[in-house]
């Protein structure tokens, strides 16, 4: 793709979104790093200023129709009606067994992780169709291809995102628009800080309390084990690879753990794979 193509990244205040926005800007993209709370923009704005990057911060709440429209209107007005790359990254995790989750908590998880993607994508698609080009990158997870205990709501959003992405890839290809799904494994970000635990799941009286606690310990261990997790910069590199490819793949995994887990999922029987998950997350 030519230099100074325009990229919009959601959820850019930290982690994958932060690194992806900087990485695209460092590689010649006019980058709009969006986030719900502009009070969290200090770090990325400072890096962009120090490195003289073509990066601007824009307020965008993926849960708010008006916020999404205003942000995209601002971008296309400044960029000659163009958006070449959309990276749907905003999202969070929700811990808790299904019985411990309220309908409200599950709806909120879907509102951000799934409907937020739809909300932003629907605003960008007419722009990309008119310019007859573009690429939409949806940050999914290895958890969009397999499930583990105490993350049923989160996995549901990522499975939905995978299906959405696959379906619209057929719809949009005739218009010169490509769709890419990025599937990271354990990424060393502040994911546990940006995750929420269901209210009932933190009650020691919950029948699933020990299960949820074990999952949190497993996550913490994985984050501290550099051989079992990857830095967010690795995701950013794969995003750049995808958006600069003449023929991007539909799916890209990030991290050896993601590749090995998906390989196991596709080669093992359900019983065998289930045993692997129990050993890793319930022992």
| Catalytic residue of the set 13, 14, 41, 140 | 140
Number of H helices and E strands in the chain, helices first, is 11, 9
Q: Parallel, antiparallel, or unpaired for β 196-197 and 94-95? A: parallel
Read out DSSP for 121-185?
HHHHHHHHHHHT-EEEEEE--GGGT---TT-HHHHHHHHHHHHHHHHHHHHHGGGTEEEEEEEE-
Instruction: Clarify whether 140 is annotated catalytic.
Output: yes
Buried b (16+ CB within 10 A) or exposed e, 190-219: ebeeeebbbebbeeeebebbebbbebeebb
- Which residues have a Cβ under 8 Å from the Cβ of 140 and sit 6 or more positions away? 158, 161, 162, 165, 181, 182, 183
| Catalytic residue of the set 32, 34, 67, 154 | 154
- Which residues have a Cβ under 8 Å from the Cβ of 271 and sit 6 or more positions away? none
Site of tokens 């023929």: 247
The three-state secondary structure class of 34 is: strand
Q: Give the whole-angstrom CA distance, residue 100 versus residue 222.
A: 25
| Catalytic residue of the set 30, 67, 150, 158 | 158
Beta bridge partners of 33: 9, 57
Instruction: Clarify whether 154 is annotated catalytic.
Output: yes
Residues involved in catalysis: 140, 154, 158
């Amino acid at each position: 793709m030519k230099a100074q193509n325009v990229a919009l990244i959601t959820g850019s205040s930290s982690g994958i979104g932060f690194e992806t926005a900087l990485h695209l800007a460092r590689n010649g993209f006019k980058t709009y790093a969006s986030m719900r709370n502009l009070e969290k923009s200090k770090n990325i704005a400072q890096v962009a200023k120090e490195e003289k990057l073509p990066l601007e911060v824009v307020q965008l709440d993926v849960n708010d129709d008006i916020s999404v429209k205003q942000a995209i209107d601002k971008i296309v007005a400044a960029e000659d009606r163009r958006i070449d790359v959309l990276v749907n990254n905003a999202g969070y995790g929700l811990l808790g067994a299904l019985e411990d989750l309220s309908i409200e908590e599950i709806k909120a998880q879907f509102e951000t992780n799934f409907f937020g993607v739809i909300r932003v994508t629907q605003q960008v698609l007419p722009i990309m169709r008119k310019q007859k080009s573009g690429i939409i990158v949806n940050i999914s997870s290895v958890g969009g291809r397999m499930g583990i205990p105490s993350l049923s709501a989160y996995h549901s959003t990522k499975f939905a995102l995978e299906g959405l992405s696959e379906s619209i890839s057929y719809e949009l290809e005739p218009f010169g628009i490509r769709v890419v799904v990025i599937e990271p494994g354990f990424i060393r970000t502040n994911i546990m800080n940006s995750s929420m635990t269901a209210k009932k799941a933190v009650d020691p009286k919950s029948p699933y309390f020990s299960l949820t606690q074990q999952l949190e310990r497993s996550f913490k261990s994985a984050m501290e084990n550099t051989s079992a997790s990857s830095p967010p910069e690795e995701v950013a590199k794969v995003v750049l690879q995808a958006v600069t490819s003449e023929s991007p793949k539909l799916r890209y995994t990030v991290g050896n753990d993601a590749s090995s887990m998906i390989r196991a999922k596709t080669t093992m029987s359900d019983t065998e794979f289930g045993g692997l998950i129990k050993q890793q997350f319930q022992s």
